[in-house]
């Protein structure tokens, strides 16, 4: 059985970390380890995570840096990167193993479901999934998984402040198309609901276009976190 390492980058997730890790316990028992990488939390995130994870490590702040640090400490032959506000579908570990049982398949992701109940969010998530399937680009909200050997071969996540998932997908696509699983990973819609759905869509498309045109990811990160 292929061993899976779940890598979870966190920063000041005290209100949500226990619920997130509790949901991953059913996966953890299926020859999966859970590696939490903290980027310098100032709250009780680390203390709360320790009883619910196989490893809790610290690294410099930054999602890409934290995920690379977790990958270095992980023991699995498959690396599965999750966000702290995401919940995997039932049987996720088995789905990943089946997806990569073909030696010509090296990486993949899940479809995404936004947690909110507003009907327009169903449209947004459907468009996100179709776009990803068409382009072969996975976002962090889709729970990207990859064979460790290929992850190391392409140099892991580039240490940039934003768009690290798109950059990694581009590198991985040079080796194979992703396996696009239709089972849905639920991710929080809190940003969409807080900032407005239309405004969030426009912001994300603007940032993505700017990145493709060569904008500095550090400047884009400032726009993303402080729109």
CATH number among 1.10.8.290, 3.90.550.10, 1.10.260.30, 3.30.420.40, domain 4-225: 3.90.550.10
User: At residue 206, does pLDDT exceed 80?
Assistant: yes
Q: Is residue 157 a contact partner of residue 67, using CB atoms and an 8 Å limit? A: yes
User: At residue 221, does pLDDT exceed 80?
Assistant: no
| pLDDT tens readout for residues 122-165 | 999 999 999 999 999 999 899 999 999 999 999 999 999 899 99
Output the pLDDT for position 93: 95
The pTM of the full predicted model, rounded to 2 decimals, is 0.93
Across the range 171-189, mean pLDDT stands at 95
% of the chain surpassing 70 pLDDT = 99
Question: Within the chain, what is the greatest distance between any pair of CA atoms?
Answer: 45
User: At residue 68, does pLDDT exceed 80?
Assistant: yes
Output the pLDDT for position 203: 83
User: At residue 14, does pLDDT exceed 90?
Assistant: yes
Output the pLDDT for position 220: 72
DSSP string, 158-220: ---SS-HHHHHHHHHHTT-PPEEEEEEEEE--HHHHHH-HHHHHHHHHHHHHHHHTT--HHHH
87-90 contacts: CB < 8 A, separation 24 or more? 87/20, 87/23, 87/185, 87/186, 87/187, 88/23, 88/24, 88/27, 88/143, 88/185, 89/183, 89/184, 89/185, 89/186
The mean pLDDT of the chain is 92
* Tokens read off for 176: 């194979």
Angle made by CA atoms 38, 159, 35, in degrees to the nearest 5: 30
Across the range 71-81, mean pLDDT stands at 97
User: At residue 227, does pLDDT exceed 70?
Assistant: no
DSSP strand pairing (179-187 vs 107-114): parallel
User: At residue 216, does pLDDT exceed 60?
Assistant: yes
- Residues β-bridged to residue 9: 37
Which of 117 and 219 is assigned the larger pLDDT?
117
**What is the four-CA torsion angle of 10, 13, 18, 20, rounded to 10 degrees?**
-60
**Closest to 105 (Cα-Cα) out of 179, 171, 3:** 179
User: At residue 39, does pLDDT exceed 90?
Assistant: yes
* Tokens read off for 13: 């997730």
Output the pLDDT for position 215: 76
Residue 95, Cβ neighbours under 10 Å: how many?
19
Which sequence spans correspond to the domains of the chain?
4-225
Q: Please name the residues in contact with 136: beta carbons below 8 A apart, sequence gap of 6 or more.
A: 169, 173, 177, 178
% of the chain surpassing 90 pLDDT = 74
* Tokens read off for 42: 């100032």
Across the range 167-172, mean pLDDT stands at 96
Q: C-alpha 156: how far from its chain's center?
A: 13
């Amino acid at each position: 059985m292929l061993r899976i390492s779940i890598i979870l980058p966190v920063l000041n997730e005290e209100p949500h970390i226990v619920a997130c890790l509790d949901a991953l316990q059913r996966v953890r028992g299926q020859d999966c380890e859970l590696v939490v990488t903290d980027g310098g939390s100032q709250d009780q995130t680390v203390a709360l995570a320790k009883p619910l994870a196989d490893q809790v490590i610290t690294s410099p702040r930054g999602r890409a840096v934290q995920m690379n640090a977790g990958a270095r400490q992980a023991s699995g032959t498959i690396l599965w990167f999750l966000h702290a506000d995401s919940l995997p579908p039932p049987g996720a570990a088995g789905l990943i193993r089946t997806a990569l049982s073909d030696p010509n398949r090296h990486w993949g992701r899940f479809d995404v479901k936004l947690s909110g109940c507003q009907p327009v969010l169903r449209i947004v998530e459907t468009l996100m999934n179709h776009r990803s399937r068409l382009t072969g680009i996975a976002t962090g909200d889709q729970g990207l998984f990859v064979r460790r050997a290929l992850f190391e071969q392409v140099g892991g996540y580039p240490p940039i402040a934003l768009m690290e998932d798109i950059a990694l997908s581009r590198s991985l696509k040079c080796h194979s198309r992703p396996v696009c699983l239709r089972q849905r990973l639920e991710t929080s819609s809190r940003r969409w609901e807080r900032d407005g759905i239309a405004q969030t869509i426009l912001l994300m498309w603007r940032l993505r276009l700017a990145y493709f045109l060569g904008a500095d990811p550090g400047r884009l990160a400032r726009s993303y976190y402080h729109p």
